[in-house]
Amino acid sequence: MTFAVHGLPVARGIAIGRAVLMASSRVDVAHYFIQPEQVESEIQRVRTSRNAVVEEIHRLQHTISQMGPKEVPQELTALLDVHLMLLQDEDLISGVKHWVIDRLYNAEWALTTQLEILSRQFDDMEDEYLRGRKADLEQVAERILRHMQGVASPIVQTGAPRRKPQQDLLLDDSMDVPLVMIAHDLSPADMLHFKQSVFAGFVTDVGGRNSHTAIVARSMDIPAVVGARGASNLVRQDDWIIIDGDAGVMIVDPSPIILAEYGFKQRQGELDRGRLSRLRHTPAITLDGHKIELLANIEMPDDAPAALIAGAVGVGLFRSEFLFMGRRGHLPDEEEQYQAYRRAVDGMEGLPVTIRTIDVGADKPLDDTVRDIAHLNPALGLRAIRWSLADPAMFLTQLRAILRAAAHGQVNMLIPMLAHASEIRQTLSLIDFARAELDNRGIAYGPIKLGAMIEIPAAALTLKIFLKYFDFLSIGTNDLIQYTLAIDRSDESVAHLYDPLHPAVLHLVARTIDECNAQGKGVSVCGEMAGDVSLTRLLLGLGLRSFSMHPAQILAVKQEVLRADSSRLAAWARQVVESDDPASLMPGA
Ligand code: PEP
Ligand code: MG
């Protein structure tokens, strides 16, 4: 039966494919397709690991049998029996075999998929004791997975060719079967794994439009919907799904008519993109002759080629924290960071690269396992520059690495979430200290331009202080909106109040642009507002000349720039800022 689940649109476009349900904790296993000739060895990997775990348990049982009854809690003996029973249950292995043989999933992916199916069967059990055995099943699967990590797959292939469907085909025979991921939640670090995987779209139960998870999804330029409450419970493994990333809707089990309609929309979107790509080499100049800088936001050095392909004239925001995530406490040292920053600089082939110092905390935990549950309001807590200043050794390591990368090209350093003059002064003296350390060690480094992010209202209201110390400012509208309106950007329950057009937000943005322009200092917007084509004209009218966004948005924004006359937009833009109801003055209102 066809039904729809509504959420929040994150990344545009239509994806049509089969659902892969994912427990969030299991996103970090590898997902790739194997070759048909690898089927046997993949199944063997699961069997070998399963047998090894069975062996382990047998050994443990033997050790226990040698101990006295007082030394061994009775629950442990019973627990081991349950684990053995689950391990030897043929449903587990036969399910895994199905995913490997019929879908060519790699062994880990097949195991976690089967785990998800069995977990749901446990959830549906009426008997409380049996329901509780789900935790045992997860432990058993976890142990098999750990074993498999030591038994590598013969060939690891990410992004391998997709297969043609074998089952009840609703789609045209000639079409490949893309897969879409449905999860309760995905952290920004999960999304990084996702970036190299095979999925053509994703839907989550929770999350806001401007959560960091959503931002990474947008950078991948695949259709995505977040905040689709209940999605992961309503969908079954392998259901046909349509994701409409423009409308923020997921359609489950679509009828042939609906499929045909969305297939048409999908092809239309591809044609539109094809047309836009012709603008790649066109300079971004408004009708009245203003040259507009369109920069890219990136998460990893390997994103640089995509930025160049999209026609970016530099990187306006390299979110360096993604180098630090999912490392289970082993942060990258100076050399590793230096190499990563250098790769981004080299990758941009002489164009400027703005590296933001680490911004972890709130919805960007270093590790999924250490989500900040200790603090009531993590977004107001030890995040970004506050985190860096609280750990000077870590911060100095990063500062040295960035300064060293600056010897290889034009590097700007951007400091996130500053609010206090004392934070600015501490940051500046640590940068001086990092330079002195490199001098003492005789290591080369280059000149940098130093910028501050304006993302806390306090900063936007004390621009004089910022302009005294910094070469340029970059407006982080994602956080500026969050902190001005007191709306958690990752909470879908208040997403309707997260409003870039709130007069207070517009005032802060407008005054930051005005002050910088008046003093001849560079100013850009690097939050999501910069990549939103419905806001391009407004920002141009307010005097903004530098926009930094996901590479996927650059050409669409360029199209708006080419059609805009900024001098004619100025008076209207001021009216919008002064209005009680700015949205009513926007085109199409
Ligand atoms: C912002 O806050 O607008 C920004 C660009 O930084 P981030 O989204 O990484 O917090
Ligand atoms: Mg921010």
- Which ligand has its closest atom nearest to the C-alpha of 548? 1
How far is 300 from 312, CA to CA, in rounded Å? 16
pLDDT, tens digit, 9 for 90 and up, residues 208-266: 888 877 887 888 888 999 999 999 989 998 999 999 999 999 999 999 999 999 999 99
- Model pTM greater than 0.85? no
* pLDDT at residue 375, as a whole number: 64
Residue 284 dihedral angles phi and psi, to the nearest 5°? -85, 95
Q: Is 478 in the pocket of ligand 1 (CB under 6 A)?
A: yes
Atom of ligand 1 nearest to the CA of 359: 9
Average pLDDT, the chain: 89
Report how far ligand 2's centroid is from the alpha carbon of 319 (Å): 10
**What DSSP letter does each residue of 492-554 carry, written as one string?**
GGGGGG--TT-HHHHHHHHHHHHHHHHHT-EEEE-SGGGG-GGGHHHHHHTT--EEEE-HHHH
pLDDT digits (tens, 9 = 90+) for 446-495: 999 999 999 999 999 999 999 999 999 999 999 999 999 999 998 889 99
Per-residue H/E/C for 58-103: HHHHHHHHHCCCCCCCHHHHHHHHHHHHHHHCHHHHHHHHHHHHHH
**Among 143, 140, 144, 146, CA closest to 83:** 140
Query: Which position among 83, 147, 408, 526 bears the catalytic label?
Result: 526
Rounded to an integer, what distance in angstroms lies between the CA atom of residue 416 and that of residue 387? Answer: 10
More confident residue, 195 or 91: 91
pLDDT at 151: 55
List, in sequence order, every beta strand (DSSP E) within 339-475.
353-356, 411-415, 448-454, 472-475
Assess whether the C-beta atom of 477 lies below 6 angstroms from ligand 1. Answer: yes
Q: How confident is the model at residue 90 (pLDDT cuts 50, 70, 90)?
A: confident
| CB distance 383 to ligand 1 below 6 Å | no
Mean pLDDT value of segment 151-156: 45
Nearest CA, atom 6, ligand 1: 476
Atom of ligand 1 nearest to the CA of 476: 3
- Give me the half-sphere count of Cα atoms (radius 13 Å) on the Cβ side of residue 80: 18
pLDDT at position 174: 33
Kindly state if the Cβ of 487 falls inside 6 Å of ligand 1. no
| Ligand 1 atom, smallest distance to 321 CA | 9
Split at pLDDT 50, 70, 90, the class of 80 is confident
Q: From CA 82, how far away is CA 80, in angstroms rounded?
A: 5
Read off the pLDDT band of 92 (50, 70, 90): confident
Return the minimum-mean-pLDDT range out of 62-71, 135-144, 261-270: 62-71
Give mean pLDDT, residues 537-556: 97
Q: Would you tell me how many other CB atoms lie within 10 Å of the CB of residue 554?
A: 28
Choose which residue among 319, 473, 480 to substitute to test ligand 1 binding: the one with the highest number of ligand atoms within 8 A of its C-beta.
319
* Active-site position among 31, 83, 212, 550: 212
Task: Indicate whether 168 pLDDT > 60.
Answer: no
pLDDT of residue 416: 98
Residue 476 Cβ contacting ligand 1 at under 6 Å: yes
Task: For residue 474, give the ligand 1 atom closest to its CA.
Answer: 5
With tokens 């999960």, the residue in question is 190
Strand 522-525 with 472-475, pairing: parallel
- Which residue has the CA at smallest separation from atom 10 of ligand 1? 479
- Kindly give the distance from the C-alpha atom of residue 541 to the centroid of ligand 2, in angstroms, as a whole number: 24
pLDDT of 118 reads 85
- CB-facing half-sphere around the CA of 119: CA atoms within 13 A: 21
- Average pLDDT over every residue of 162-171: 37
Task: Say if CB 312 and CB 551 are below 8 A apart.
Answer: yes
- SS3 state at 335: helix
Torsion sign, CA atoms 76, 82, 86, 90:
positive
Q: What is the C-alpha separation between 100 and 106, in angstroms, rounded?
A: 6
375 is catalytic: no
Question: Domains in the chain, please, with CATH?
Answer: 3-24+156-275 (3.50.30.10), 37-149 (1.10.274.10), 280-585 (3.20.20.60)
Is the C-beta atom of 359 inside 6 A of ligand 1?
A: yes
* Average pLDDT score over residue span 262-291: 94
Q: Is 516 among the catalytic positions?
A: no
